[in-house]
Amino acid sequence: MAERKDAKRIDLFLDIIEKAYLGNDFRYAKETFRLQPTLVAPADFYKRTFDSSLTSYESLLKALDPVFKSIAVSEVYRVRTGWVARGLKGYDGRRIRRITVGSDIFLLPDLSNQPSVGIDTSGCGINDSVIVICSIPDYEGAYVWLERHLKLPKDHRKNEFHWSKLNSTCREQLLSKFELTLSICCDGLLVIRTNALNERRGKIANLFTNLIEGCFSGYERDPQQKDLRPSLKHKFFNTVNRVQIHCDADFRPLTPEKVVRLLVQTLAKQDGGHFEEYTPLFANLRSHESKPIQIADIVAGMTKTKIETAGSQQPLQPLPFDLRKMKKYSDNPPKAYFWFA
């Protein structure tokens, strides 16, 4: 009996996270709550005081069984066996994600149940481009954030998100929620600003390979970089190896499939010339068919604007580029940045 009650409470916990995030109707205690898309915080499950004007989500929280709330005080946070811990591991075919932005913690449903990678570019400045490689833990959940929470409009012709088609109000909204949007859409990000895609002083395959290598080589004598670079390279390799990679066709004459192979192969290469075992997985979809590409497009647009803006690029971290890999571009050397959740 106790196990059955525990299972019902966890199911209710997971149901609230999912239905609130999606903005779906929720049936509880013979009442229907018409929820708007909402980010759920752990403390919501034992909240007891409310303002006079309640949202539909707050009305649901207020209606929760007091016994459930009392148990939630300890069970939400219990290490290894608590509701959050079990949701993160996966419970009865369902899984949640936990993100932290500043002092705020949010719980999100994992709607895809598989990671993916999105590669896209965005024009930056007069002649530069920003290349983004986004590790996306849950592309369905990220898409819901853009579509239902932020209510971004789509291109009418192909029904897809495009940064270039967004008006200033939408762009400002994204930039005001930059770190939150990044945390929901990605768990890792590599950004390269370069003019090499527009001024091709060599074969594009070599240029792309050298752009990736330049982010992780050199600086062996710099105490702040010598350990960071191989660690970052291994971390990015793990995010792209044996993971479906979606790539927009921005590197012609290189095909997206070739770009994917070069990326994984370059990150697999170790000192001495040997390679870690690697498997590139290319998702053969065009941008209007691929949610990861559309997510990467929005991230690229946000990121390029952040980089162009004077001042701090936080939470992006600068990654000094090894110019030996791009000697022909010493007049306008590439700049690199990274971020991990």
* CATH at residue 162: 3.30.420
CB 160 within 8 A of CB 306: no
Q: Are residue 176 and residue 201 in the same domain, yes or no?
A: yes
- Separation between Cα atoms, residue 247 and residue 121, nearest integer Å: 10
Quote the DSSP letter at residue 160.
Answer: B
pLDDT score recorded for residue 19: 98
pLDDT at 5: 81
Among 5-9, 32-36, 40-44, 110-114, which is the least confidently predicted range?
5-9
Taking a C-beta distance cutoff of 8 angstroms, is the pair 43, 32 a contact? no
In single-letter form, the type of residue at position 40 comes to: V
pLDDT tops 90 at residue 64: yes
The answer for residues whose C-beta is within 8 angstroms of residue 90's C-beta and 6 or more apart is none
Q: Which of 109, 130, 163 is the C-terminal boundary of a domain?
A: 109
256-313 per-position pLDDT tens digit: 999 999 999 999 998 777 899 999 999 999 999 999 999 999 999 999 999 988 667 8
Q: Which long-range contacts (CB under 8 A, 24 or more apart) does 95-100 make?
A: 96/14, 96/17, 97/137, 97/138, 97/141, 99/183, 99/184, 99/341, 100/183, 100/341
Q: For position 218, what pLDDT does the model report?
A: 86
What integer pLDDT is reported at residue 313 of this predicted model?
81
Among 48, 83, 109, the domain-final residue is 109
| Per-residue confidence band for 1, with pLDDT thresholds at 50, 70 and 90 | low
Q: pLDDT (tens digit, 9 = 90+) per residue, 121-149?
A: 999 888 999 999 999 999 999 999 999 99
Two structure tokens written together for 273: 């010339």
173 and 74 fall within a common domain = no
The reply to whether 21 and 67 lie within a common domain is: yes
pLDDT at 47: 92
155 pLDDT band, cuts 50/70/90, is confident
CB 138 within 8 A of CB 174: no
| CA neighbours closer than 13 Å in the CB half-sphere of residue 198 | 16
pLDDT of 34 strictly over 70: yes
Q: What does the pLDDT read at residue 314?
A: 84
Tell me, yes or no, whether 246 and 147 share the same domain: yes
Which pair of tokens denotes residue 150? 């932020």
Q: Within a 10 A sphere around the Cβ of 108, how many other Cβ atoms? A: 24
Are 93 and 104 spatial neighbours (Cβ–Cβ below 8 Å)?
no
User: Is the pLDDT reported for residue 28 higher than 70?
Assistant: yes
Check whether residue 66 and residue 197 sit in a common domain: no
Is the backbone of residue 307 left (phi > 0), alpha (psi -120 to 50) or beta?
A: alpha
Domain boundary among 57, 80, 109: 109
Per-residue pLDDT, averaged over 42-54, amounts to 91
pLDDT of residue 280: 97
pLDDT at 96 over 70: yes
Cα angle: 207, vertex 210, 213; to 5 degrees: 155
pLDDT at residue number 271? 78
pLDDT for res 52? 82
pLDDT number for residue 226: 84
In this structure, the answer to whether residues 176 and 219 fall within a common structural domain is: yes
Per DSSP (E only), the strands in the chain are 25-28, 31-34, 96-101, 104-109, 116-124, 128-136, 188-194, 244-247, 281-282, 317-319, 335-340
Say which residue, 268 or 221, is predicted with more confidence: 268
Q: Are residues 189 and 321 in the same domain?
A: yes
CB 257: neighbour CB atoms within 10 A?
Answer: 14
Judge if 89 and 129 occupy the same domain: no
pLDDT confidence band for 222 (50 / 70 / 90): confident
Q: What is the DSSP letter of 36?
A: P
Query: What is the pLDDT at residue 156?
Result: 79
Are 242 and 320 members of one domain?
Answer: yes
* Confidence check: pLDDT of 157 > 70: yes
Do residues 55 and 62 make contact, with C-beta atoms less than 8 angstroms apart? Answer: no
Please check whether residues 149 and 291 belong to one and the same domain: yes
Q: Please give the tally of structural domains in the chain.
A: 2
CA pair distance 123, 178, nearest whole angstrom: 19
pLDDT-wise least confident of 50-59, 65-74, 139-148, 303-312: 303-312
For 49, the domain range is 2-109
Which helix H or strand E contains 235, and what residues bound it? helix 228-240
> What mean pLDDT value characterizes the chain?
94
pLDDT value for 51: 85
pLDDT value of residue 2: 62
- Indicate if 246 and 153 belong to the same structural domain: yes
Is the domain of 50 the same as that of 197? no
Measured CA to CA in angstroms, residue 216 lies from 123, 234, 332 at distances of 23, 10, 19
Q: Of 94, 326, 50, whose CA–CA distance to 192 is shortest?
A: 326
